[in-house]
Homo-oligomer: A and B are copies of this chain.
Amino acid sequence: MKGSKNTNYIPNLSYDCVIFGFNGKTLKILILEYHNTGLFALPGGFIKKNQSLKDAVNKGVEDRTGLTNVFMDQFQIFGKLDRSDPAATRRILDGNNEDLEKNEWMMERFLTVGHYALINYEEVDPKPDHLSDSIGWYDIDNVPQLMMDHNEIVEKALEVLRNNISEKLIGMNLLPPKFTMKQLQQVFEAILDQKLRRTSFQRKMLSMDILERHEKLFEGKAHKAPFLYSFKQ
């Protein structure tokens, strides 16, 4: 996008992605901060004219996390008239010494396609892109003020994640390939933001016939070692 009129991208349309990770205790999301602006935002970008939406988002997430084959889903397009903020865009371009005139198209109204991604926190090495100072993990209940309507996008993403966790079993994407029952429970608890009963949870998970039991995990702790599990198939 650097130093050119917009001949490459679909105009007026962007994507944003709420990237969830789980560090064993709390649910986190990736947020980036733009150079010299104090502006926080979700990772996002534009769709090339010869690129599918899916490819565009995958590419964006890969660039920022180094991960490929990330579980990801779009959940809503945000299309309000007043959601864009050209002043903020201008500040970002200014802060990076980008040519304003040549990026005029970015000041227009944008609709954005909201996505969420679930990734294994431990495998990720977030990298800031060329416009950003930093990219980092924030606890889901401690998200700073974000630009435009990005806070609303985060709220919606979390809502969708909560609705989907039980039926679609997508929580697996937040864990390493092998995990203990306790870890699985902690993921559910972090997403739903409520305590679950250990015995009921275990019974339910096992009865669903989706887990494969492996060797035990010896952590060196003074108690019975738990089994490791993976998702079947």
Residues of A within 8 A of B (CB): 10-13, 47, 49-54, 74, 76-77, 79-81, 109, 111, 113
Contact = CB atoms under 8 A, between A and B. Distances in A.
23 contacts: A10-B11, A10-B12, A10-B109, A10-B111, A12-B12, A12-B13, A12-B49, A13-B13, A13-B111, A47-B79, A47-B111, A49-B109, A50-B81, A51-B81, A52-B79, A52-B80, A53-B77, A53-B79, A54-B79, A74-B76, A74-B77, A77-B77, A77-B113
Contacts of A54: 79-80
A13 B108 CA distance: 15
CB-based closest 8 A-B pairs: A53-B79, A52-B81, A10-B12, A52-B80, A77-B77, A77-B113, A52-B79, A11-B11
A49 to B, nearest CB: 7
Nearest to A47: B79
Nearest to A79: B53
A74 B50 CA distance: 25
Nearest to A82: B52
A156 to B, nearest CB: 12
A13 B50 CA distance: 14
A54 B77 CA distance: 10
Contacts of A77: 53, 74, 77, 113
A53 B113 CA distance: 12
Contacts of A74: 76-77
A174 to B, nearest CB: 22
Given A12-B12, A51-B81, 16 more contacts: A10-B11, A10-B12, A10-B13, A10-B111, A12-B49, A13-B13, A13-B111, A47-B79, A50-B81, A52-B80, A53-B79, A53-B80, A54-B80, A74-B77, A77-B77, A77-B113
A81 B54 CA distance: 10
A101 to B, nearest CB: 21
Contacts of A13: 10, 12-13, 111
A71 to B, nearest CB: 17
